Amino acid sequence: MNKELKRVSIAVLLMFVALFTSSTVITVFQVDNLNADSRNVRTLYDSYSAERGPILVNGQAVAESKAVNDPYKFQRVYSNPLLYSAVTGYFTLNQGTTGVEGSLNSYLSGTANDQFFTKISSILTGQNPKGASVSLTINPKVQQAAFDALGNNSGAVVAMDPKTGAILAMVSKPSYDPNPLASHNTTDVIATYKKLLADPTRPLLNRTIGGDLYHPGSVFKLVVASAAIDSGRYTPDSQFPNPPTYQLPLSNTVITNAEGGTCGGTPTVTIATALRLSCNIPFAQLGAALGADTISKYAKAYGYGDKFSVPMSVTPSTYPINTDVAKLMLSSFGQDEDRVTPLQIAMTTAAIANKGTLMSPTLIKEIDAPDLTVIQPFQEKAYGQPITAQTSATLTQLMVSNVSNGAASNARIAGVDVAGKTGTAQNGAGKSNTLWFTGFAPANDPQVAVAVVVENGTSFGNAVAAPIAKTVIEAVLNK
Amino acid sequence: MPPSNSAPTEKIGRPAGRPIEAAPRNTFTDTIRLRLRVPAKLRNLELVLLLFACAIVGSSIALVQLGALGKLDGSVLVIGTLLGVLAIGMHVAMRFVAVEADPFILPVITVLNGLGIAEIYRLDISRHLTGWNAAGVRQIAWTAMAMLMALAVILLIRNHRVLQRYRYVAMFVGIVLLLLPMLPVIGQTVNGARLWIHIGSFNFQPGELAKIALAIFFAGYLVTARDSLSLVGRKVLWMRFPRARDLGPILIIWVAAMAVLIFQRDLGTALLYFGLFLVMIYVATGRASWVILGLGLFVGGAIIAGRVLGYVAGRFNSWLDAFSPTIYNEQGGSYQLVQGIFGLAHGGLIGTGWGLGRPGITPLAESDFIISSLGEEIGLAGLFAILALYLLFISRGFRIAFAGQDDFGRLLGVGLSFVIALQVFIVLGGVTRVIPLTGLTTPFLAAGGSSLVANWIIAALLLRLSDSVRNQPRLVVE
């Protein structure tokens, strides 16, 4: 009987070895896959129950987690949702995250590698895990001014400090309220999300850095002018023929200047005047003379075609290299396949304002651990030097006269030299225009570079976009 | 040993156990005085271990409160203390009636039962259940009841050989208990398996008690029948197979197991009884052919049942392809199994800590999936400790079988401990995907009165058997 008992004992032992093995396999070898499984709601709950860090603007939380009595433990609350939704983005249970909530999720949720030791110490001390707080470079006064000035228009405003790259305002309209998306009722979240997605005004788009991008229209002339002057091939006084209409080579398309007629009434016109009055025909000729490769080189130096993270990723703006002269001419005053983000336009202006040095744009002022130690300080980073300081001084002069004595008259501020450029991009026959203004001030010591875009315009950039930019600049300069 | 011989043994077995008791007993108090003077080393060890067990359980419940409530609440600890007192009462009783009983069994099952209560209580907190609605409160009441039943078994059955006399009664009781859920009115189907009876507000799973009755019957029957089962037969290849006329019993048990599989729709229970029988017949006869024959019959039956019965096929699919989205989302698919595995993974090596996990997400987290709930909160480390406790309990039972003097006691010992081992394997193997998931309860841990009562009675029988084992050699030597 003992022989049988031994065998049965071995069988029992083997049964237990199987259990030891199977539980080890699950908790040690498969654990990463299991925790990453989308059906594993425990992981989801975990990411929510750590107290997510706040997003701060000037020390005030614009997004924060408040303790609630449900399995998720914390409810994300946006205190000024419409004003900041373009920046904060949303944080949902089942529809993903966007904006700073999405791109800095690992810091906010406390899972970033930089926070490893914080995590360990909170385990050892028995404290609840807490995410880092993110301070933004946004100036609430400027943000509010931009938001109010844009009114009911669809469009966007970006303001940045040209010397540091800090983004002072980022407004995209129409806006949306991220609070219902942060609901813990997933059915409600899906319903809200679907409704926002189906909205023809597309409120979920952050128009400052993404979406379908815009034709830049005349604001692109700053890039062409940069190429002309910085390459040394032209000066502001270089003359171009000045017809009232111009038929593009090998094409039936006839282009005109925005106001109709010639540019200033003289037989020839200088680049300076053409920029000041924002004339298309001289710039079309200048573009053809420069060639697509030269313009493209300068566009790239300003950041076209590159991916920026602010920390949200910015859709690259494009300038096509056209071999076809007609298309090259169209693209030289911001039509054809030129597509830009308002941020790219603000960056171009900021580089001109900052003696030709382009600073990388960013929204992050500082990331702080819950114990207030700084995880990531403000990082001032030069992206490049698209133009020389001398070119920048020349362009600044041209842009100042553009406001004081030219097409951008509505951006004038008493006692301050404002440098600016308007744009009115056409989106095709029968379609409304995209209205632009970009500029910086004060011209001798720039504090702010701004880009304003208004969709579905019927008039000109100077009429609609310039006053908005003026309000934003005034908010920065405390006027 | 024939039943008639057991009467005198029973009379002399206890008092003659040690020299000091050989003197005639005059009064009851006299007896107590004499017994108390005997140094009870094993009982002292048991007391130390039992206090340790109570400390583990008490701190677990306290940690559950700190983790899930954030504060200590006296009420449940008071009830827990009452259970500790009851366990110690059982210990004290054994100082008188089972002095030489195994000292590990009681502390081990106290820890297991207490860990179960702590986890069930923890789930009640997350579900905001209080009073009689709380499974934890009911579990505590059932534990008290189970301990009293176990105490009664130890007190009433002074000699296990009495049980051999009642082997056919046990058979009858076992079959009746098995069949009870199939009766109309009182029988009840829970989660597709018809394993419950329902009288008034009282629910019971009689199959749990049936396993004791069947173990007694198998042991008694096999002791008398094993000669004819093992000696004669035809040799096929290297193995001696039984005669056709001796196949009767195994066929009856097989039919019974298949009836459970088909009518009660529970693969686990069928496997448990049939496995119990196979191991006992193997130990009794020493013939591996019985195991091969039995396994062949069972697997064959199960495969046919799998073809015919949808639920068996479903269980197999959920086991083999648990993570497939179709099976996961199916009604009665692998959702529960996968959520249980997610729970285990969530716990990882050291667990989330008592009261800090989310075991409530898994359906039936307090009964069928108590082990994944525990795994989530006390981690792989805790699971290993629990498995080690089971292994210790089972090894103490096998010890009885190895060291015992009478074959009935040895068979009963191996049967009772193996049925626990097999049940642990079937449940935990189901939860961790070693085998298909079935609806058995985890011994001592899972919420459920019938299972607790049955397992405590098994423990009491093992205690009684172990006491006899240690006493018998002296009987012979003297």
| Separation of alpha carbons A7 and A2, rounded Å | 9
User: Cβ distance A78 to A179 under 8 Å?
Assistant: yes
CB contact under 8 A, B387 and A12: no
Work out the pLDDT band at A154, boundaries 50, 70, 90. Answer: very high
3-class DSSP assignment, residue A209: coil
The pLDDT, as a whole number, for residue B478 is 32
pLDDT per position as a tens digit, A207-237: 999 888 999 999 999 999 999 999 999 999 9
User: Cβ distance A281 to A242 under 8 Å?
Assistant: yes
A chain contacts of residue B345, beta-carbon cutoff 8 Å: 26-27, 30-31, 34-35, 40
Work out the pLDDT band at B372, boundaries 50, 70, 90. Answer: very high
Work out the pLDDT band at B232, boundaries 50, 70, 90. Answer: low
Distance from CA of A457 to the nearest CA of B (A): 50
**Residue in B390, B414, B428 nearest the CB of A5:** B414
Looking at per-residue confidence, does A99 or A262 come out higher?
A99
Alpha helices in B321-445 (DSSP H): 325-329, 335-347, 370-403, 407-431
CB contact under 8 A, A19 and B432: yes
Work out the pLDDT band at A353, boundaries 50, 70, 90. Answer: very high
Distance from CA of A75 to the nearest CA of B (A): 18
Tokens of A326: 């007609």
Average pLDDT value for residue range B136-152: 91
pLDDT per position as a tens digit, B105-131: 999 999 999 999 999 999 988 888 877
Query: Which CATH number applies to A217-360+384-476?
Result: 3.40.710.10
pLDDT for A368 beyond 70? yes
Q: How many CB pairs under 8 A join A and B?
A: 114
- Provide the 10 A C-beta neighbour count for residue B288: 13
pLDDT for B11 beyond 50? no
Work out the pLDDT band at B6, boundaries 50, 70, 90. Answer: very low
| Separation of alpha carbons A353 and A441, rounded Å | 8
Domain ranges of chain A: 217-360+384-476
A chain contacts of residue B421, beta-carbon cutoff 8 Å: 12, 15-16
| Separation of alpha carbons B74 and B62, rounded Å | 9
3-class DSSP assignment, residue A220: helix
The pLDDT, as a whole number, for residue B2 is 43
CB contact under 8 A, B425 and A19: yes
pLDDT per position as a tens digit, B182-199: 777 677 776 666 777 776
Please tell me if residue A34 touches chain B, with a CB cutoff of 8 Å.
yes
> Which residue is closest to B427 within chain A, CA to CA?
A19
Tokens of B470: 């240690």
| Separation of alpha carbons A7 and A13, rounded Å | 10
| Separation of alpha carbons A475 and A138, rounded Å | 13
Q: Which of A43-52, A250-259, B139-148, B258-267 has the lowest mean pLDDT?
A: A43-52
**Residue in A1, A9, A18 nearest the CB of B429:** A18
User: Cβ distance B219 to B166 under 8 Å?
Assistant: no
The pLDDT, as a whole number, for residue B477 is 36
Work out the pLDDT band at B233, boundaries 50, 70, 90. Answer: low
Map tokens 């089971």 to a residue: B390
| Separation of alpha carbons A167 and A362, rounded Å | 6
Angle between helices B206-231 and B407-431 (to 10 degrees): 130
Please tell me if residue B420 touches chain A, with a CB cutoff of 8 Å.
no
Distance from CA of A120 to the nearest CA of B (A): 14
Residue A63: in which H helix or E strand, if any? strand A60-67
Q: What DSSP line would sit under A373-384, residue for residue?
A: -EEE-----EEE
Q: HEC string of B165-225? A: HCHHHHHHHHHHHHHHHHCCCCEEEECCEEEEEEECCEEECHHHHHHHHHHHHHHHHHHHH
Beta partners for residue A391, in sequence order: none
Please tell me if residue B375 touches chain A, with a CB cutoff of 8 Å.
yes
- Rounded to two decimals, the pTM is 0.63
User: Which of B 241-300 lie inside 8 A of A, CB atoms?
Assistant: 279, 282-284, 286
Q: Please give the single-letter amino acid code of residue B210.
A: A
B chain contacts of residue A22, beta-carbon cutoff 8 Å: 428-429, 432-434
Work out the pLDDT band at A278, boundaries 50, 70, 90. Answer: confident
The pLDDT, as a whole number, for residue B9 is 42
- Pairing state of beta strands A55-57 and A133-136? parallel
Angle between helices A81-88 and A140-150 (to 10 degrees): 110
Tokens of A239: 């003359």
Work out the pLDDT band at B201, boundaries 50, 70, 90. Answer: low
Looking at per-residue confidence, does A67 or B470 come out higher?
A67
Which among B415, B411, B155 is positioned nearest to B272, based on CA atoms? B415
pLDDT for B24 beyond 70? no
| Separation of alpha carbons A253 and A431, rounded Å | 18
Average pLDDT value for residue range B350-358: 86
The residues of A annotated as belonging to the active site are 218
3-class DSSP assignment, residue A66: strand
Taken in order A200, A206, A208, A213, is the CA torsion positive or negative? negative
Residue A368: in which H helix or E strand, if any? strand A364-368
Number of residues that make up chain A: 479
The pLDDT, as a whole number, for residue B349 is 86
pLDDT for B237 beyond 80? no
- Provide the 10 A C-beta neighbour count for residue B375: 32
Please tell me if residue A266 touches chain B, with a CB cutoff of 8 Å.
no
**Residue in B380, B418, B434 nearest the CB of A8:** B418
3-class DSSP assignment, residue A98: coil
Which among B308, B243, B298 is positioned nearest to B274, based on CA atoms? B298
> Which residue is closest to A26 within chain B, CA to CA?
B345
Region for A382 from its dihedrals, namely left if φ exceeds 0, alpha if ψ lies in -120 to 50, beta otherwise: beta
Percent of chain A with pLDDT over 70: 95
| Separation of alpha carbons A300 and A348, rounded Å | 11
Tokens of A14: 């083997």
- Provide the 10 A C-beta neighbour count for residue A117: 9
Average pLDDT value for residue range B220-239: 75
The pLDDT, as a whole number, for residue B29 is 59
The pLDDT, as a whole number, for residue B27 is 61
The pLDDT, as a whole number, for residue B1 is 40
> Which residue is closest to B413 within chain A, CA to CA?
A5
What phi and psi, each to the nearest 5 degrees, are found at residue A60? Answer: -100, 135
The pLDDT, as a whole number, for residue B135 is 85
- Provide the 10 A C-beta neighbour count for residue B454: 26
Which among A406, A450, A411, A453 is positioned nearest to A432, based on CA atoms? A453
Please tell me if residue B425 touches chain A, with a CB cutoff of 8 Å.
yes
Q: Which of A382-391, A409-418, B67-76, B155-164 has the lowest mean pLDDT?
A: B67-76
Strands (E), A79-183: 133-136, 155-160, 167-173
The mean pLDDT of chain A is 89
pLDDT for B10 beyond 70? no
The pLDDT, as a whole number, for residue B329 is 81
CB contact under 8 A, A5 and B283: yes
Work out the pLDDT band at B25, boundaries 50, 70, 90. Answer: low
| Separation of alpha carbons B301 and B321, rounded Å | 23
| Separation of alpha carbons B357 and B381, rounded Å | 15
Q: Which residues contact B406 (CB under 8 A, 6 or more apart)?
A: B1, B161, B472
pLDDT for B340 beyond 70? yes
- Pairing state of beta strands B239-241 and B234-236? antiparallel
Looking at per-residue confidence, does A104 or B76 come out higher?
A104
Beta partners for residue A111, in sequence order: none
| Separation of alpha carbons B125 and B143, rounded Å | 19
pLDDT per position as a tens digit, B67-105: 888 888 877 778 778 888 989 999 999 888 888 889 999
The pLDDT, as a whole number, for residue B7 is 41
Residue A149 exposed, middle or buried by CB count within 10 Å (0-12, 13-18, 19+): buried
- Provide the 10 A C-beta neighbour count for residue B70: 8
The pLDDT, as a whole number, for residue A223 is 94
Q: What is the DSSP letter of A248?
A: P
Q: Which residues contact A354 (CB under 8 A, 6 or more apart)?
A: A162, A163, A392, A446
pLDDT per position as a tens digit, A129-143: 678 899 999 999 999
Average pLDDT value for residue range B24-30: 57
The pLDDT, as a whole number, for residue B39 is 55
User: Which of A 49-108 lie inside 8 A of B, CB atoms?
Assistant: 71
The pLDDT, as a whole number, for residue B405 is 82
Which among B56, B61, B109, B110 is positioned nearest to B83, based on CA atoms? B110
Q: Which residues contact B247 (CB under 8 A, 6 or more apart)?
A: B293
The pLDDT, as a whole number, for residue B387 is 96
Work out the pLDDT band at A303, boundaries 50, 70, 90. Answer: very high
Work out the pLDDT band at A396, boundaries 50, 70, 90. Answer: very high
Please tell me if residue A45 touches chain B, with a CB cutoff of 8 Å.
yes
